[in-house]
Amino acid sequence: MSWYRRSKLGFETISRYFTSKTNGPNATFQNRASVINHKNQLSKFPSYTNYLARVPRPVNSVNRSLGFGAFGSCYRHYRATPLRQPKRFKWWPLSNKHKAVLAVMLVGSGFGLTMYLGEIETIPYTKRKHIVLLSQHGEKRIGESEFKKMQDKTYKGKILPAKHPDNVRVLKISENIIQGLKRGLKKEQVSTNLNNMLVEKDELIQDDMRVDQSRKKGKDKEETSVNAHLLGLKWEVMVVNDDLVNAFCLPGGKIVVFTGLLEHFRTDEEIATIIGHEVGHVVARHVAEKVAKALWITVIQLALFQFMKIYAVNSMSDLLLKKPFSRRMELEADYIGLLLMASAGYDPQVAPKVFEKLGEVAGEIALQNYRSTHPSGKKRSASLSKASVMQEALDIYREAKAGREVDGFFL
């Protein structure tokens, strides 16, 4: 049968060869596996088949078969293999009931983790309670390491020398603010000592056994002072020669001021307003509070991902959670900073004008009070201009100018 197959193959080859000569180059060759034109372009192939298509050589091609092209090499073989799509990971389908249960579990675990690892503290003066996850030692280490990095890398070569007039001026204003802060801490320390003296007098009446038990019990239940994170800080000031209109204070008492700020705010009262605000962030431990809030926001986002798209959840959390929290912290730092500058002997009536000017210099955007991390300058000015707030600051300022110590003004 082999001679029969070879004869049939040769006959079909010769017939197709002469057919292509007769029909011309525009002729196409039909085949049950595909439709291929004279340019050897594949126009149709089922994606689920695997065929061996035999296609005649084009007329204008060069015959390199040494005379045997009509029988031996006039076919081109193409093997069409279907493309394998990569397997994609598919989430196990959850019903609405299961999604609700998962969301409750995420929120509950976040709340439990925060309460277990966090600590409830009271912010000086405002008496607002907040949860912090960072320890006081850890917060100081973060500020110190970041300050060291700025000195060695970020602002290397831009730091003003110690005897530069701008550096001396900022250092003196910062020193006055810190002294005002320390005067505000005295009342709590004195009252604590007085309480200890009264307790000792009462204990003298009791027998030795009850005295020992009372002291042990009091030591176990001893509460950390709200100002413990401010005690023993090593305050440092760094002035950077840069056009940036900004200043900040890192945890641990590291104050950084840019010369661009000094070009727009030239009086000592204006500079004291900015530095007092930045120190207010450290007094309220806003960095540690942001860490706890970031954990909560992440847990809420994971819960909402079960019902909404990622883009919608991120936008909502940014507008409704992150930025409102940040604006409230800024207003709180304004309030504390106002009292600090008054205790340092600087006129607090200058502060509202400073924040209005700061908003103009920074170039506030539309809907600043909703789309930004900082309130508008007008809102900050109005908050400090309230009669009760300004009157409290003026009382502290008059006592400081009269030479009387202002003990515990924000406690």
Which residue numbers are catalytic? 278
Q: Identify which of 340, 350, 348 has the alpha carbon closest to the alpha carbon of residue 266.
A: 350
Q: How is residue 123 written in tokens? A: 């912010």
307 vs 310, 313, 322, 371, CA distance in Å?
Answer: 10, 9, 20, 25
Q: How is residue 390 written in tokens? A: 């300004």
Whether residue 107 contacts residue 124, with contact meaning beta carbons closer than 8 Å, is answered with no
With a CB cutoff of 8 Å and minimum separation 6, the contacts of 263 are: 243, 245
In angstroms, the CA 92 to CA 280 distance is 49
In angstroms, the CA 293 to CA 171 distance is 33
59: Cα within 13 Å, side-chain hemisphere? 16
In angstroms, the CA 215 to CA 221 distance is 10
Q: Identify which of 7, 38, 39, 33 has the alpha carbon closest to the alpha carbon of residue 20.
A: 38
Pairing mode, strands 236-240 and 254-258: parallel
Residue 234 dihedral angles phi and psi, to the nearest 5°:
-100, 95
In angstroms, the CA 281 to CA 343 distance is 17
Whether residue 13 contacts residue 69, with contact meaning beta carbons closer than 8 Å, is answered with no
